[in-house]
Structure 1
């Protein structure tokens, strides 16, 4: 966050991160998760999911990590449908939002100059999360 300077609202993103950390932990057994369901790893064909690639972050743990597409792939009006289909409760949703925020905050300064498309997606994800939190 400090590296981003005035490119983000540091107070707001830090507050959202703290909320994610305060959410109750995953109480069940570890689940398999992809861990990087981002625009470059989800292939769409005919407006539908066609394939998922790049399993370099796959492993077991908190399944909330795979809720990240709600913010990094979907428009705001589709999030409720996605959440319902995923069966995510409030704590899972908060942790998933925290994962999405964390990745976007890491990617933005890293890709600022080297990959404008990823940097733009990170800016969009941060803006979406801030707007949702209102």
Structure 2
């Protein structure tokens, strides 16, 4: 069974590898930027790192992934949300005391809906 703690460690290690070699990180980020429908939660972690989110906060984000997977929110929508707002703003939103319905509503807001519709 994969727990959020294991996922967060694996994601952080994956980000470290991408940042270390530079080539993998850049190529994958460019590929997902060209077609955000390919985004995975690990790609969102990479995007957060690219936006300058410190490594301890990346692990914090991965603890939220289990909650996000239970909502009608896709990695693509979160990718667009980060592009429209910011990585730190995403973490602030996830740490806010919002119920699941309100969190999903904000992550699928009008800006994201327009952007996601553009890639369909």
Q: Shared fold by TM > 0.5?
A: no
Q: Greater strand share, 1 or 2?
A: 1
* TM-score normalised to structure 2 length: 0.27
* TM-score normalised to structure 1 length: 0.25
Q: Greater helix share, 1 or 2?
A: 2
